[in-house]
Each structure stands twice: as structure tokens, then as C-alpha cells.
Structure 1
Amino acid sequence: MKSLINAAALAGIVIAMPVTSSAAETLHAEGMFYGAEGHEGAGTVRIVSGDNGETALNLIDFSTTPGPDLKVWLVAAGNVTRSGDVKDSQWLSLGKLQSDSGNQSYALPAGTDISQYKSAIIWCEAFSVLFAAADLKSAQ
């Protein structure tokens, strides 16, 4: 399955995977989405590691205003409320937003230092606009 997902990612194909929780998961951080700059945002974000050692960002009961070129980013800045907060901060793109609503999961690159990121955001790359943000609270 992992090789199928990697091949799909290289081809630019998004595979929506169900967000599931297991007793073997370790919760690192979580937060609640809020809208920004005239856009709506709601739902929960969780950063978890599975027993396989892989870390993922999960969106749960998520929704945001539809838009062009929306991406999921982790941002070093906390309390992000405007696009300028993002532009002035370090960020990591996790890829294209799979859907403007529903449960979704995004793999974090191996070796990502989660402690360096204080927010998860939905970002319109085409127009450099913040759609939604969530402050990440450490679970440890």
C-alpha cells in the first residue's frame, strides 16, 4: 500500500485515506481551526505518530471556504490571523488540500521536528492568502 501511495504522490494523484485512531497512536499536538481574512474554517487538527513510526497531520470534521490552489502548511508562527503572519514565518507544505470538507490525513516528511511549528494552516498559494488556521497545542 505504501508504494502505491508514494507512486500516486509522485504522479500528483491524491488518495484520500480515512482518518482512523488506534491505541498505538501517539498524539503530539492538536488544535481547532478558525477562519481568517473573510474565509471560514472549522474542525480539529491532530499531529500523531503511529506504531509504524510515521507521523501524520489529521484533519477531523474539517471544513473551509472553497478556493483555488489550497495547500496544507505547518507554520512556525503561532496565533496566525493574517497572511502577513505566514509570509514572515518559516513554513512546511504538506501538499494540496484533498477536500474543503471532511476527514483527511497528510504524511509529514521523515525527520520533521514538530516542535518547530506552532500552527497548521490552509493557504492559497496562487494568491498568497490565508484561509484557515489552527494553533497547535502540545499534547505532552
Structure 2
Amino acid sequence: MKVKAIFISLICIMAIMYGCDKTSNVKLDEMISVDGTLKFAGTFKGVGSENVSGQAKIYLTNNIYMLKLENFSTSNGPDLKVYLSTASSPSEFISLGNLKSTNGNQVYEISGTPDFTKHKFVLIHCERFKHLFGSAELMK
């Protein structure tokens, strides 16, 4: 009976571990249009044991705001998202979607016209486990 319980426990642990899709680690090299104007920039800092580095840059291109993660690198994890937030933690934020890759240059369109005096942090956050990986404070 005890062996059966251990076996079932191991199967459950393996299902949880392998059921968590991690973000791609393929290095990306996405670019902003040459007519884009740099508006804000910040440097990423990891939180706790997470390694996050690179720059977050906001460009205005054809009246559309774009976020570029440049020379970006982060620890891998499941369900990583990119947020534009009012604080260095995910309280009030705009989700820009799934993190495309754990490294390289990547671009995200920002819908609407956020108030960058309030939404001045870019966060990398694991939504599933409510775990912040890193943040960058945007400045002019």
C-alpha cells in the first residue's frame, strides 16, 4: 500500500513538472522600424535568484507605441508574461502578452496610449505562479 502511494505521488510530481511549458530560449533579433523615435528606456534588474538583464525601450512608430527588449536575457520559467506596470510589482498593469524568448531582441506592440508617467515599469512575470522575475524602470 505504501509503495502504491509513493508511486502515485511520483507520477503526480512528474506531471506537474513536465506539464509546465517553459518559454522558448531561441535567440530572437526583432527590429523597430527605422522611423521610430525613442521615448523612454530602462535597464532590467532581476529579483531574488532570477537573472534578468538587458534594456527595455519604448519607441513611437507611426503613432503606435512599441516596446523593444534589447540585448535581453532572463532565467527560464513557465508562463512568462511582459507587463507595463505602475509599480515594480504587478499590481496595476497592461499585459503585452507572452514573453517570446528568454534572450535576444524582441518587440511588443502597446495598444492604445498608456500614461507613461504612471505605467513606467516593464516587468517579466510568471503569471501561473505569481512570481516576478525582473523589472526595468522607464525614464526619458
> What TM-score do you get using the length of structure 1 for normalisation?
0.75
Pairing of 1:39-118 with structure 2 (within 5 A): 39-50=50-61, 52-77=62-87, 80=88, 85-86=89-90, 89-118=91-120
Unaligned ranges ≥5, structure 1: 1-15
- Equivalent residue, structure 2, for 1:8: none
CA contact (8 A) 2:83 2:93 kept: yes
Name the CA distance, whole Å, in 2 between partners of 1:66 and 1:127.
13
Name the CA distance, whole Å, in 1 between partners of 2:100 and 2:111.
17
Structure 1 segments, 4+ long, off by >6 Å, are: none
For these two proteins, the number of residue pairs brought into alignment is 113
**CA offsets 1:66-100 (integer angstroms, 9 cap, x no match):** 000000001101xx3xxxx33xx311100000000
What amino acid sits opposite 1:18 in the alignment?
E
Unaligned ranges ≥5, structure 2: 1-27
Q: How many percent of aligned residue pairs carry the same amino acid? A: 37
CA contact (8 A) 1:27 1:49 kept: yes
Superposition deviation, residue 17 in structure 1? 7.2
Name the CA distance, whole Å, in 1 between partners of 2:66 and 2:118.
15
Secondary structure of 2:117's counterpart equals helix
Cα distance change of structure 1 residues 76 and 40 upon mapping to structure 2, 3 Å threshold: same
Which entry has the higher C-alpha Rg, 1 or 2? 2
